[in-house]
């Protein structure tokens, strides 16, 4: 089973930048997109009717052209849930939960904390609420989590760690939450296969950062410990253009 995750920074923009060429060749069973910045009604029908795939949309309601997640799957889920249970975390289009035969799959666009102290607190509260929710569901089935986590975990996960120690996305409290998440029994699948730095999933559009590979690894596939032996590969497709992020993949037996 091949799963993909990609923050596309605007679905309507990326479909004009070779998205469908990538989609056809990737041959994903489930493709999870974040920051789609669109509602289904704003997208041409040809982009919503993909042979063999069903689409599930969770666009932002509180602000048009903002946030939003989308799943495309050729395996019919047993159930689909939109958003976390708490009302304060709904409306921004940040999560789709899909239940399959052997696991729950979360497609999540975690909040960004750079705007203000209030948004940083919202991000940290969202993190904690998500972990609590995932742990509750984990009593029933294992968990797969993918998406833009908006935090680089360790110093090897970004090009300039020292210069960003006081920037949201690499703050101690944010990195500490990933530590807590892993300690709760989740695995950063990419690190099962690659231990060195220099592998990133996001680059600012400024300063020629992508050409210089001055990036951050803030997009992840996590699995709960019960799925460790089923992880066959995890990778980053840094050569794929169209967004300031690139796609990441996971293969499960």
Catalytic residue numbers? 148
Half-sphere exposure of 87 (CA within 13 A, CB side): 0
**Cα distance between residue 206 and residue 140, in whole Å:** 45
The answer to whether 95 and 69 have CB atoms below 8 angstroms apart is yes
**Which residues, 6 or more positions from 51, have their beta carbon under 8 angstroms from its beta carbon?**
none
From the number of C-beta atoms within 10 Å of its C-beta (0-12, 13-18, 19+), residue 17 rates as middle
Please choose, from the candidates 18, 231, 205, the residue with its C-alpha nearest in 3D space to the C-alpha of residue 142. 231
Residue 142: phi and psi, rounded to 5, are -65, 170
From the number of C-beta atoms within 10 Å of its C-beta (0-12, 13-18, 19+), residue 226 rates as middle
């Amino acid at each position: 089973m091949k799963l993909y995750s990609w923050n596309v920074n605007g679905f309507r923009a990326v479909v004009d930048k070779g998205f469908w060429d990538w989609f056809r060749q990737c041959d994903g069973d489930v493709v999870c997109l974040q920051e789609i910045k669109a509602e289904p009604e704003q997208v041409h029908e040809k982009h919503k009717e993909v042979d063999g795939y069903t689409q599930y949309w969770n666009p932002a309601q509180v602000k048009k052209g903002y946030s939003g997640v989308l799943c495309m799957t050729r395996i019919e889920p047993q159930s689909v849930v939109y958003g976390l249970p708490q009302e304060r975390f709904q409306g921004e289009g940040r999560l789709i939960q899909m239940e399959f035969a052997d696991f729950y799959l979360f497609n999540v666009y975690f909040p960004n904390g750079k705007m203000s102290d209030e948004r940083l607190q919202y991000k940290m509260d969202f993190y904690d609420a998500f972990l609590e929710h995932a742990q509750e569901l984990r009593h029933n089935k294992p968990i797969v989590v993918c998406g833009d986590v908006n935090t680089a975990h360790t110093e090897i996960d970004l090009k300039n760690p020292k210069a960003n120690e006081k920037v949201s996305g690499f703050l101690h409290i944010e990195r500490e939450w990933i530590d807590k998440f892993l300690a709760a029994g989740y695995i950063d699948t990419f690190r099962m296969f690659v231990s060195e730095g220099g592998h990133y999933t996001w680059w600012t559009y400024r300063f020629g950062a992508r050409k210089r590979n001055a990036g951050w690894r803030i997009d992840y596939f996590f699995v709960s410990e019960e799925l460790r032996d089923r992880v066959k590969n995890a990778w980053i497709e840094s050569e794929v253009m169209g967004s300031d992020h690139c796609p990441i993949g996971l293969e499960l037996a």
